[in-house]
Amino acid sequence: MATQLTPKDFATATPSWWCPGCGDFGVLAALKQSCAELSLQPKDVAFISGIGCSGKISGYLHSYAFHGVHGRALPTATAVKLGNKDLTVIVAGGDGDGYAIGAGHFLHAVRRNPDMTYIVMDNQTYGLTKGQSSPTSMLGYLSGTSPAGNPDAPLNGLAVALAAGGTFLARAFSSEPKAMVEMIKEAVRHPGFAIVEVMSPCVTFNKVNTYKWFKENVYHLSDIEGYDPSNRAKAFDVLTQHGKIPLGVFYREIRPTFEALTLKDSPAIAGLDIDRIDPKLAELQEAYA
Amino acid sequence: MIVNDIEVLFGGQAGDGSLTTGDLIATVFKRMGLDVYTFKDFPSRIRGGHTNYIIRAGEHPHYGVADYVDAMVAFDLECVEKHVDEMRPGGFIIFDNTSEQLTEAVRRADVTYYEVPLAKIAKEDLGLELVRNTISLGVLSQLTGMDPAIVRSLVTRQYERKGEKVVAQNIGAVEAGENYVKEHFASTPSGYGLRARPDVDRLIMMGNDAIGYGALAAGCRFMAGYPITPATDILEWMAKHAPKYGGVVVQAEDELAAINMVIGAAFAGVRAMTATSGPGQALMTEGIGLAAVTETPIVVVECARAGPSTGMPTKTEQSNLNHLIFSGHGEVPRVVLAPGSVEESFYLTVGAFNLAEKYQVPVFILSEQAMCQSKETTPRLDLSAVRVDRGKLHRNGPLTFGEYKRYEFTQDGVSPRAIPGTEGGMHLVPGSEHNDAGVITEDARNRVRIMDKRMHKLVSMRPDLPKAIVHGDRSAGVAFIGYGSNRGPIGEAQDRLAAAGVPSRFLQLRTLWPFPEEEVRDFLAGAQHIFVVENNMTGQVERLVRYVTGPMPNMHRVLKYSGRPFRPIEIIEAVLEVVPHSNGVVPDRTSQPVHSAAPAS
């Protein structure tokens, strides 16, 4: 019987490369807290991240972590889960990773509904390359690559995911750790592809969407009387309204996971005995004889 | 003279069923105890456009097409127009003259034409247009001396799924074809009385199927891929068979996803592969670098087709070798293996998975359209020869966290691998440069050390790499170097050159990377004329050989990049242009093989 772990048990010895004050610290803390509260064991957690400031998070969570190439964390994670469905698979990446270079994979992960959690650490800029526009930067955002103002409308990732068949959609703010922990825990428990988008301010390059700006520009779904996260139309309505940014769990739906549909009841693939050649294999040659 | 060796070209418009009938003919020849090779020459479209299927059968394995076509079954004039020049003098053409007539331009004095209104017989006599192909099989059978009992039993097998009525209709169609010949043609073509031999226990299998089968036997239980000609067969084969063995196949949204899925599955501890062709390989390039730097074992099958860009998707070429060897940013270890037959496709695939896991590198299996979509008769594939070597994969109990280092520096450069779920083995697998513990670092000393570690695996793996095979006379002055589908035409050219007094040696490369420098150097010792035979325009292997040898005035490139495989005569002619030969006459075909069949490994 494993002892109850604390957030510290999910820490690594690697010092963080993030700037002081970065919103990503809040995400990491909430993630460790969630893992501990969910009684997960580090050996059973596969943590896959993308590239960018956010992608570095995989080095800081004590687990089996994989820091892949830019935008491809979701396909990697999908296969990790298929390979060993007993693992708890968590993916983290930034807005650029998930909504720009990895946007295609994002849509298809949503369609497939693998049982995993995807944390999108949204800072509305490209931090690691020093502050260019990102797919969630606001119109008119001034940056090195948009000196005349960002001409591209920001992508509404959660609304896109809902349209594509998303089964769990939530948004948190890195300054609200308690709420974020609850959302992440719920996401991990959700049997399907659970997205938690976290507003995670970049204190160095994004001088528009600051902690102060967020505090003035967010509201909570709990403020909406009788909000029902099983109501897809309402979720779409709330997600696509202009104005202040809603936080909370927008939508929840249960439908079969990718693993359930592809693996059915078979055991975890990684545990199969492949060392002995199955004698049945020889019969396959008869079709060619 | 009766020659028990025939090449049939079966052609018409895509979608008219000629591939199905071509397969049937190939199986008839196989059951007659002959050695068979098939080649599909089809357009990149579903219906319409000229398509043809070559079936070659003879008394010893050819692994390739012949110089000429002996018998053509042409369902339209376009087929005759396109291929009449490829006919062997003395060959014959069966032509469906229902709606088109032969023109003067396609008539050759040395070719016999059998005009049969195949479509008309099908529609008017048998009341079923669909059986036109089967009637042609009856005509061909009667003209070449196929065994009628075998033809009937295979037609029955082919159609029994569709019910007794369809079987009877097709048997009737075979008879109609046979009878038409008996009733209308006084003479049958001389020299094409095929003789059956006992059919020993063999298979007739396509290269792609052998790769799928090899993967499954080797324990591959995860495949992700994106449909692409000519590799899709492997994805479909695995989708059909892998689930019965606990495996899973994913059709990815693109090749970027496919390669990263394969990496993810391998990270989780599953033997995993993908299969693609040039355009998909281009997208997978970033993933190859990731697999190599993270030391994740993966197998990537490249079924090469004619490039560049979309190129000629259904045509064969050997122009992707440079891409497999040199693509990607940074410097990483990788392996490229190239089977030279369907049989080798099976055994080298098994070997690829062992190499990948033993040395924790990406391993490519390089096939080509002319082999991966070709069928060959092949001995039964020996599952007792299959060994699964998972290398330094930690599988016994917990590790001690803090002591275990995923990228531990070792003598052979290979570090023990712990997979998720193992107590105490937690670590980070980073695409960024890292130290032995997997911690990301840009430290200068570490960088050099870990680069050396990864690249050293190319040295330590040498004893395990599939050896090149030397065919023919090791001391001969004429030397060939080639790989893949060219094993067939080079081997046949060797036989015929030898019969004309020009012996030769042939180095069939099976490991293309790391390039087998020593084998090449040893092989070339004493060679007077060297011919590097490749299906590409720039001589990619010849350049690799030159890296080893330096400039060689007696080294010649024999290149073909029309999208079609070599016919042996093209290689023979290239040799005779520079090599004097005394006998003067090179036989059209040889009855006895000089080169030996390759041993399995």
Find out whether B514 and B592 touch, Cβ atoms under 8 Å. Answer: no
Find out whether B146 and B33 touch, Cβ atoms under 8 Å. Answer: no
Identity at B197, one-letter amino acid code: R
Closest CA to B446 of B433, B458, B455: B433
Distance from CA of B315 to the nearest CA of A (A): 25
Interface check for B312 against chain A (CB to CB < 8 A): the answer is no
Residue range B95-119: average pLDDT?
96
CA A181 to mean position of chain CA atoms: 13
3-state DSSP assignment of residue B582 = coil
Residue corresponding to tokens 């349209």 = A163
* DSSP letter (8 states) at residue A175: T
CA A167 to mean position of chain CA atoms: 13
Closest CA to B494 of B479, B509, B504, B481: B504
Residue of B nearest to A282 (CA): B383
Termini Cα distance of chain B: 39
Identity at B241, one-letter amino acid code: H
- Count Cα neighbours of B503 within 13 Å in the Cβ-side half-sphere: 10
Find out whether A128 and A77 touch, Cβ atoms under 8 Å. Answer: no
pLDDT tens by residue, B215-245: 999 999 999 999 999 999 999 999 999 999 9
Query: Using a CB-CB distance cutoff of 8 angstroms, which residues of chain A are in contact with residue B423?
Result: 43
Residue of A nearest to B267 (CA): A80
Residue range A90-111: average pLDDT?
98
pLDDT at B166 over 60: yes
Closest CA to B92 of B1, B167, B191, B175: B191
| CA B371 vs CA A69, B60, B342, B599: distances in Å | 34, 17, 7, 18
pLDDT at residue B595, as a whole number: 43
Residue of A nearest to B288 (CA): A69
Distance from CA of A218 to the nearest CA of B (A): 35
pLDDT at B599 over 50: no
pLDDT at B487 over 50: yes
pLDDT at residue B593, as a whole number: 45
pLDDT tens by residue, A161-171: 999 999 999 99
pLDDT at residue B16, as a whole number: 76
Closest CA to B70 of B22, B4, B21: B4
Do residue A285 and residue B427 have CB atoms under 8 angstroms apart? Answer: no
Query: Using a CB-CB distance cutoff of 8 angstroms, which residues of chain A are in contact with residue B252?
Result: 75, 108
**CA B588, CA B213: separation in Å to the nearest integer?**
36
**CA A271, CA B5: separation in Å to the nearest integer?**
50
Interface check for B269 against chain A (CB to CB < 8 A): the answer is yes
Residue range B487-496: average pLDDT?
95
Query: Using a CB-CB distance cutoff of 8 angstroms, which residues of chain B are in contact with residue A269?
Result: 221-222, 246-248, 265, 268, 270
Which pair of tokens denotes residue B161?
């799924």
pLDDT at B520 over 70: yes
Query: Using a CB-CB distance cutoff of 8 angstroms, which residues of chain B are in contact with residue A104?
Result: 253-254, 256-257
Same fold, B204-385 and B469-578: yes
**CA B336, CA B302: separation in Å to the nearest integer?**
10
Pairing of strands B6-13, B35-41: unpaired
Find out whether B206 and B17 touch, Cβ atoms under 8 Å. Answer: no
**CA A207, CA B543: separation in Å to the nearest integer?**
55
Which pair of tokens denotes residue A119?
């944390």
Pairing of strands B6-13, B50-58: antiparallel
pLDDT at residue B45, as a whole number: 78
| Residue A151 buriedness (CB in 10 A; 0-12 / 13-18 / 19+) | exposed
Using pLDDT thresholds of 50, 70 and 90, give the confidence band for residue B41: confident
Residue range B167-175: average pLDDT?
96
From its phi and psi, is residue B446 left (phi > 0), alpha (psi between -120 and 50) or beta? alpha
Residue range B118-142: average pLDDT?
94
Distance from CA of A128 to the nearest CA of B (A): 14
Residue range A76-98: average pLDDT?
98
Percent of chain B whose predicted confidence (pLDDT) is above 90: 86
Instruction: Choose among A274, A275, A289: nearest Cβ to B221.
Output: A274
Q: For B42-74, give one letter per residue: b (16+ CB within 10 A) or e.
A: bbeeeeeebbbbbbbbbbbbbbbbbbbbbbbbb
pLDDT at residue B582, as a whole number: 67
pLDDT at residue B14, as a whole number: 82
Residue of B nearest to A266 (CA): B246
Distance from CA of B344 to the nearest CA of A (A): 16
Query: Using a CB-CB distance cutoff of 8 angstroms, which residues of chain B are in contact with residue A78?
Result: 250, 261, 264
Domain B6-200, CATH 3.40.50.1360 — does that match?
A: no
At residue B17, φ and ψ (nearest 5 deg) are 90, 10
pLDDT at residue B601, as a whole number: 40
Find out whether B447 and B582 touch, Cβ atoms under 8 Å. Answer: no
Query: Using a CB-CB distance cutoff of 8 angstroms, which residues of chain A are in contact with residue B268?
Result: 46, 79-80, 82-84, 87, 269-270
| Domain regions of chain B by residue span | 6-200, 204-385, 469-578
Interface check for B261 against chain A (CB to CB < 8 A): the answer is yes
CA dihedral A156, A159, A161, A163 (to 10 degrees): -130
| Residue B265 buriedness (CB in 10 A; 0-12 / 13-18 / 19+) | buried
Find out whether B195 and B153 touch, Cβ atoms under 8 Å. Answer: no
**What stretch of H or E contains A225?**
none
Query: Using a CB-CB distance cutoff of 8 angstroms, which residues of chain A are in contact with residue B265?
Result: 79-80, 82-83, 269
User: How long is chain B?
Assistant: 601
State the maximum Cα–Cα separation within chain B, in Å, rounded to a whole number: 88
pLDDT at residue B597, as a whole number: 41
pLDDT at B596 over 90: no
Query: Using a CB-CB distance cutoff of 8 angstroms, which residues of chain B are in contact with residue A107?
Result: 253
More confident residue, B19 or B31: B31
Q: Give the CATH class of A18-288.
A: alpha beta
Q: Give the CATH class of B469-578.
A: alpha beta
Using pLDDT thresholds of 50, 70 and 90, give the confidence band for residue B575: very high
pLDDT at B591 over 80: no
Do residue A67 and residue B431 have CB atoms under 8 angstroms apart? Answer: yes
Mean pLDDT, chain B, as a whole number? 94
pLDDT tens by residue, B387-414: 999 999 998 889 999 999 999 999 999 9
Which of residues 334 through 393 in chain B touch A, CB cutoff 8 A? Answer: 380-381, 383-384, 386, 388, 390
Do residue B257 and residue A72 have CB atoms under 8 angstroms apart? Answer: yes
Do residue B265 and residue A79 have CB atoms under 8 angstroms apart? Answer: yes
Interface check for B443 against chain A (CB to CB < 8 A): the answer is no
Distance from CA of A57 to the nearest CA of B (A): 11
Domain B204-385, CATH 3.40.50.970 — does that match?
A: yes
pLDDT at residue B159, as a whole number: 93
